[in-house]
């Protein structure tokens, strides 16, 4: 009987600890979030702190949901890895990425979209679709996955694909005819063009992709976070003081 009571006592203590740990996990006040360099939506400011419209919008939703946000800048492949391992709670980024489907869940709403364009000089004919890029000379930005839509072109022996280290270098490569088309996202390109305009630059929109808040299913408490974000989004409808990110 004594041994039974001791066993029962240990079981109760263990259950209490598990419940306490679970409650603490679901009631955390800080969201561990990651961002990639994607100006003007998300980028590292001059002081090293994250800036951008998507950063500020995320912080506003988090504030309305009862959270603070602890940011870290990461390359996109590291973001995917950390979401899978539960090392971060949240990535404000692209919705419906197939690689993330098995270990993430998203909010119910889409706060905006990003646009992928094919930029070209005035003496180069425009393209109409991704398929038209095959066999061309394409300048891509190193570190971007392009939703894996260009992977086949990267290994196509008839398609030349030089990689630019950043947006500024990509425009210079296009100006110096290192490629026929620069495939890049509209938001960071607009920022770069303002700083370094290229005469007679034109572009064709290839696709638009929705934005979302992607939470790690491997991190504790993230379903509660996502639910509170959904509620905060509903409260924001009709509030003109907080604009969602776009472009």
| Three-state secondary structure call for residue 63 | helix
Mean pLDDT of the chain: 89
Axis-axis angle for helices 222-236, 53-65 (nearest 10) = 100
Structure confidence at residue 12 (pLDDT): 41
Contact 36, 73 (CB under 8 A): yes
Mean pLDDT for the stretch of residues 112-122: 97
12 or 208, greater pLDDT: 208
Q: Within 10 A of 80 (CB to CB), how many other CB atoms are there?
A: 21
Question: CA triplet 175, 74, 44: central angle to 5 degrees?
Answer: 65
Greater pLDDT, 202 or 13: 202
Q: Which of 221, 194, 188 is nearest to 54 (CA)?
A: 188
How high is the pLDDT of residue 88? 98
Closest-CA residue to 209 (of 90, 95, 57, 119): 95
Per DSSP, the three-state class of 183 is: strand
Q: Which residue stretches of 116-163 are H helix? A: 151-155
Query: Is the confidence at residue 114, as pLDDT, over 60?
Result: yes
Q: What is the pLDDT of residues 131-154, one digit of tens each?
A: 999 999 999 999 999 999 999 999
Q: How far apart are CA 97 and CA 43, in angstroms?
A: 21
Cα 160 from Cα 138, distance rounded (Å): 6
The number of residues in the chain equals 247
Beta strands in 121-239 (DSSP E): 138-141, 163-164, 181-185, 202-216
* Span between the terminal Cα atoms of the chain, in Å: 69
Per-residue pLDDT, 241: 60
Query: Which residues have C-beta within 8 Å of that of residue 21, sequence separation ≥ 6?
Result: none
The pTM of this model reads 0.84
pLDDT at res. 28: 80
Average pLDDT over residues 185-201: 94
Alpha helix ranges (H) inside 104-166: 151-155
DSSP letter for 243, please. P
> What's the token pair of residue 59?
């912080």
Q: What is the pLDDT of residues 25-53, one digit of tens each?
A: 456 899 999 999 999 999 999 998 999 99
The mean-pLDDT minimum among 12-21, 139-148, 151-160, 169-178 falls in 12-21
pLDDT: which is higher, 73 or 243:
73
Distance, in Å, from the CA atom of 50 to the CA atom of 43, rounded to the nearest integer, reads 6
Q: CA quadruple 137, 139, 143, 144: dihedral positive or negative?
A: negative
For residues 162 and 160, what is the distance between their CA atoms, to the nearest angstrom?
Answer: 7
Is residue 217 over pLDDT 80? yes
């Amino acid at each position: 009987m004594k041994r039974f009571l001791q066993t029962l006592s240990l079981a109760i203590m263990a259950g209490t600890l598990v419940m306490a740990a679970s409650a603490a996990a679901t009631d955390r006040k800080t969201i561990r979030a990651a961002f990639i360099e994607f100006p003007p939506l998300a980028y590292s400011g001059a002081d090293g702190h994250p800036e951008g419209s998507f950063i500020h919008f995320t912080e506003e939703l988090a504030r309305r949901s009862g959270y603070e946000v602890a940011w870290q800048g990461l390359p996109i492949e590291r973001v995917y890895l950390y979401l899978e391992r539960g090392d971060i709670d949240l990535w404000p980024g692209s919705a419906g990425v197939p690689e993330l489907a098995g270990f993430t869940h998203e909010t119910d709403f889409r706060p905006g979209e990003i646009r992928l364009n094919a930029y070209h000089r005035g003496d180069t004919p425009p393209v109409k679709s991704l398929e038209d890029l095959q066999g061309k000379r394409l300048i891509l930005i190193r570190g971007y996955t392009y939703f894996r839509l260009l992977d086949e072109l990267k290994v196509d022996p008839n398609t030349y694909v030089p990689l630019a280290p950043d947006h500024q270098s990509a425009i210079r490569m296009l100006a110096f005819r290192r490629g026929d088309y620069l495939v890049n996202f509209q938001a960071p390109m607009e920022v770069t063009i303002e700083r370094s305009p290229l005469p007679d630059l034109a572009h064709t929109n290839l696709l638009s992709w929705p934005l979302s808040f992607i939470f790690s299913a491997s991190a504790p408490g993230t379903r509660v976070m996502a639910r509170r974000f959904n509620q905060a989004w509903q409260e924001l409808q009709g509030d003109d003081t907080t604009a969602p990110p776009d472009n």
